[in-house]
Structure 1
Amino acid sequence: MKTFTLEVAFDCDFDLFGLVSSSRDYTLAWTLNRTLRLRLIRQPDLVVDLLSQGRLLFSHYLHVTETLTFRLLRNRSLTSSALKKPFLAPDYKQYDYLLHITNGQGSLAADELLPTLAVLPAVQYAGPVEVEGLKYKENFQF
């Protein structure tokens, strides 16, 4: 009997940055709003249902214009979990928050944004995340 394997290719047309910050999510969103002239608004928590292992919740802030989508996501689940790695991006568990940017241009382009993030007082470290190397790309399909 033949077996078939389903291979799913995800379209990764976004930039992803990891932030290390001891700040609360609303404080970090406020800092990003002031610095980058955004309007990040709290959204309902992002829910990731793992069939046999439970549900993970992640805080989620969103800024949308006609051309830009800017998301601030908490990397660690808000709820306790039996999982060893209750993260949105388990490959990058060293990051507290993730910035998901689609169509970033000008001061929000990847080259321009990283130095700006690195000097924010609420951010201890900012670094790019290699999107192609993500093991769980489906977590970032919004």
Structure 2
Amino acid sequence: MAAPKNKNIVKFALDCFDFNDFELIAIQSGLEDYRLAFHLNKILHLYLVREKKDIHLTNDKGDSFFSYYVYEDLKQDLIWRLIENKTNILSKEMKQGSLFNELSHPFETSTYLIPELKNFDYLLQIENVDVFYSSDEIIHQISDIRNVSTVYAANTENIKSINNLIF
């Protein structure tokens, strides 16, 4: 006798869920991550704290680790994340056509968490934003930080690698 088929199975496509309930602000700055976090804490009245584990990605260039800071604002029900977008990794490549092929030569290369925003060093992700949220004032305040070159509200709909920001 064949097993009865269960007709109560519901299938969901990923299109059914809205993952874009966050604002993404791209920041170009020569500041170290801890210095930028300090300035953001000061001007935006946040308490960004560095996470113990970095974001780990593996790609064709090797393993890369991105530092990030988190602050959960319980009053506003927002989660703030300052995420390093650019990191340098030490890769080992075999020198092709060399007499000494067994020697590998380490070199440093840049890799990006969100390659579509490779001109930006950091990303400020603000989760749980509603339709009334506006990032204009935050962008204006961040642009006043010394050594911040550019601040930009990124359009997350055009970013293919947005899954790298889902924690």
* Both structures adopt the same fold (TM-score exceeding 0.5): yes
Structure 2 partner of 1:24: 32
The two structures have a TM-score, normalised by structure 2, of 0.70
Contact 1:68/1:102, CA 8 A, preserved across alignment: yes
The two structures have a TM-score, normalised by structure 1, of 0.82
More helix by share: 1
What one-letter code is carried by the residue in structure 2 that aligns with 1:79? Answer: I
The correspondence of residues 63-78 of structure 1 with structure 2, limited to 5 A, is: 63-66=71-74, 67-78=77-88
Shift of residue 80 of structure 1?
A: 3.0
- Structure number with greater Rg is 2
Change (3 A) 1:31 1:140: same
Percentage of identical aligned residues = 30
Count of residues paired in the alignment? 133
Shift of residue 69 of structure 1?
A: 0.5
Structure 2 partner of 1:13: 21
Contact 1:18/1:99, CA 8 A, preserved across alignment: yes
Q: Once structures 1 and 2 are overlaid, which stretch shifts more, 116-125 or 87-96?
A: 116-125
Change (3 A) 1:115 1:30: same
Answer yes or no: is 1:33 the counterpart of 2:41: yes
SS at match of 2:90: coil
What one-letter code is carried by the residue in structure 1 that aligns with 2:85? Answer: N
Shift of residue 91 of structure 1?
A: 0.7
* 5+ residue gaps, structure 2: 1-12, 93-108
Contact 1:16/1:131, CA 8 A, preserved across alignment: yes
